[in-house]
Amino acid sequence: MWTVAQLGADLAAGKTSSREIVEQALTRIAERDGEGARAFLQVNAEGARAEADFADRLRKRGVRRSPVDGLPVSLKDLFDVAGEVTRAGSKIMGNTVKKADAAAVARLRAAGAVFIGRTNMVEFAFGGVGLNPHYGTPKNPWDRNTGRVPGGSSSGAAVAQAGGMCVMALGSDTGGSVRIPSALCGLAGFKPTARRVPLEGAFPLSFSLDSIGPLANSVGCCAAYDAVLSGEPAAALAELPVKGLRLLLPRSSMLEELDAPVERAFQAALARLGAAGASLEERPAPLFDRRGEYFRRGGFAAAEAYHVHRPHLARLGECDPRVSARILLGKDFPAADYVALGEQRAAARREFEALAAPFDAVVMPAVACVAPGIAEAGASDEDYARWNLRILRNPAFINFVDGCAATLPCHEPGTAPVGFMVCGPAMSDRRILAVSAAIERALSRD
């Protein structure tokens, strides 16, 4: 499994080159029995080779643009790239070539990232299951014979990352779209405080809830890319001991009705952290149980998505009907209710900040279930709606309260992937990443 730290050391020591890493990624994308053809909507093979060669020439002259210089990354299909078309996983967006990079893409380019291709996604990023009827649904790396969902909406991003087709997959997260596929595919993922990473040039789902973050193989990798995306110094995370960490388990429905494998993995992780000296405290958190109010009639996402899609409402019939139906929920969302929802969000944000204040982080399962089969989740509209709500249940709350959260794997090797979510209030991002890295170290020790 590629990590930024290991690859950086190997590049510095001359053990490999950016071109060699890119060729390995391209080989994995092209594997006949792999998921590259479904994970990627576009592969930039020649451009990636040229960018890698440039990075290698700079390195030979002693130039290193950042800790992620020369490493291949994938981009979710909703990010603008100069000279390319942004489809947002749809077939109705036309063929307009973008003249400029999205802000996040520009920051990655300046840091020396090698853009290997654009990844598949739920149409318009509106769904947590990961299905796309237009371009196909990439299969989860776990239990591939069954054909399980990858999670959405950054579906292709997770499958590409899990398959070694990139060192980082750039995704977006409006209700869990980085953390859900990361958790279901056995990856680390990070949803930053929304305002830390500029959204310009990323096709929007919800102006109020959208955020941009990385899917990667470790928390440290997420932190390295988070520094680039947020425009912050590439400082190493504080190395925190697990002993003495104060972790809050919110006593609420977030910890209830979990799939048996999720329950087992999460409880085993808690036991391991407790044995390592972390302080685990469970407190009532009624705030978490009011999520039905926060997302009633589609909430911010439906209201704002309807506004985004007004220019092409006449073509919504060509879209995934499970996506278009959710967009159309916003048509009759009253303005007064929208204002009231904003007030409710501000109150919930303050309540969450007060609840989290005495603790280093709030922890819970990233997703309440393991990945269902693609056929099972898409068997009917009712099945899809049920699975979508179940998958979104835990992660979407953090977007509503404007928080930040990481997910990291906590399952035993060879079993269904389960994500352990580490959450904090707005602008506690680097602290949450440091806490997540400490938890990751504790859970990975033999």
> Considering the domain boundaries, does residue 334 fall inside one?
no
- 76, 191, 218, 324: the catalytic one is 76
CATH number at residue 20: 3.90.1300.10
pTM of the model: 0.98
CA distance 403 to 308: 24
- 17, 74, 153, 211: the catalytic one is 153
| DSSP state at residue 148 | B
Q: Please answer whether residues 273 and 244 qualify as being in contact, where contact means their C-beta atoms are separated by less than 8 angstroms.
A: no
- 177, 208, 428, 436: the catalytic one is 177
What number is the average pLDDT over the span 288-294? 93
According to DSSP, the residues that pair with 404 across neighbouring strands are 424
CA distance 178 to 170: 9
Q: Please answer whether residues 152 and 165 qualify as being in contact, where contact means their C-beta atoms are separated by less than 8 angstroms.
A: no
The pLDDT assigned to 66 comes to 97
The pLDDT assigned to 420 comes to 98
Share of the chain above pLDDT 90, in %: 98
Q: pLDDT tens digit string along 383-420?
A: 999 999 999 999 999 999 999 999 999 999 999 999 99
> Considering the domain boundaries, does residue 401 fall inside one?
yes
Question: CB neighbours (10 Å) of residue 376?
Answer: 15
| DSSP state at residue 202 | B
Whether 153 is catalytic: yes
CA distance 346 to 354: 13
Residue 94 tokens, joined: 């036309």
Contacts of 429 (CB under 8 A, 6+ apart): 192, 193, 196, 226, 230, 404
> Considering the domain boundaries, does residue 304 fall inside one?
no
Number of domains in the chain: 1
> Considering the domain boundaries, does residue 340 fall inside one?
no
DSSP 360-423: SEEEEESSSSPPPBHHHHTSSHHHHHHHHHHHHTTTHHHHHTT-EEEEEE-SPTTS---EEEEE
pLDDT of 446 strictly over 60: no
**Which strands, in side-by-side order, build the sheet including 246-251?**
40-43, 114-119, 72-76, 168-172, 212-216, 188-191, 404-409, 419-424, 361-365, 246-251, 279-284
Q: pLDDT tens digit string along 229-250?
A: 999 998 889 999 999 999 999 9
Residue 393 tokens, joined: 């249940």
Task: Give residue 9's domain range.
Answer: 1-287+347-446
CA distance 276 to 146: 37
The pLDDT assigned to 171 comes to 98
> Considering the domain boundaries, does residue 239 fall inside one?
yes
Question: Using H for helix, E for strand and C for coil, what is the string for 284-309?
Answer: ECHHHHHHHHHCHHHHHHHHHHHHHC
The pLDDT assigned to 235 comes to 84
Whether 76 is catalytic: yes
Q: Which helix (H) or strand (E) holds 53?
A: helix 45-60
What number is the average pLDDT over the span 62-66? 98
> Considering the domain boundaries, does residue 88 fall inside one?
yes
Q: Please answer whether residues 388 and 325 qualify as being in contact, where contact means their C-beta atoms are separated by less than 8 angstroms.
A: no
Query: Average per-residue pLDDT in the chain?
Result: 97
> Considering the domain boundaries, does residue 309 fall inside one?
no
pLDDT of 212 strictly over 70: yes
Q: pLDDT tens digit string along 100-111?
A: 999 999 999 999
CA distance 294 to 261: 28
What number is the average pLDDT over the span 9-28? 98
> Considering the domain boundaries, does residue 426 fall inside one?
yes
